[in-house]
Amino acid sequence: MPKSLGELFDTFEREAFRLETLDDYSRSGNVAAYGAFLAGEPQPEDYNEAWVSEVRAHTSKGRRVYRVHVLARPLTPYLRFELGWGYQKNMTGGEEFYILDTTEQANPVAGAPDFWLFDESITARMSYTESGAFQGADVLPEDRAAEFIAYRDRSMAHAAPFAEWWARHSGE
């Protein structure tokens, strides 16, 4: 069994699913880009290109990379950055995004941690500080996968495709 998140990305065969539950990941990477966004600067052309290339390498082989972000409006400045710059850019590599908006509904995955689920068998539970800094990923035993498949299925059942959601709510 792969031991690290990087190894999981190198070895998955069918799909990689991500559940995002935080309003702020600003200390987890792209810190300079987030600062540029806050300053009103244009998005650099090479923004997030390494991730887009990795995603494209998977999606071009028929693998699915997709995520649900649980959030409520109004959006935090970080979420405006992540959705406006990050998701828009990452979609060019074939990554799929969905929004589970809890502004007017209960959160059907309340208490779920952030995680990546690979091929419905291996889960990497993500850990962050209260200020949004990534602390690491804990690769769980395969017998825990059913719990995270249930989180994925519940979140997808209540989520809207990002492009549709963004068209309705990006100006709020």
DSSP state string for 68-93: EEEE-SSPPHHHHHIIIIIIHHHGGG
1 pLDDT band, cuts 50/70/90, is: low
How many Å separate Cα 3 from the centre of its chain?
A: 21
Please give the domain boundaries of the chain with CATH numbers for all domains.
5-169 (3.30.870)
pLDDT, tens digit, for every residue of 69-126? 999 999 999 999 999 999 999 999 999 999 999 999 999 999 999 999 999 999 999 9
pLDDT for residue 11: 94
Check residue 95 and report its DSSP letter: -
Between CA 72 and CA 22 the distance in angstroms is 10
Among all chains, which residue has been given the structure tokens 């991730």?
51
Give the CB-side neighbour count of residue 153, counting CA atoms within 13 A.
7
Cα distances from 162 to residues 30, 40, 100, in angstroms, run 21, 23, 9
pLDDT, tens digit, for every residue of 122-146? 999 999 998 889 999 999 999 999 9
pTM for this predicted structure: 0.95
pLDDT for residue 16: 98
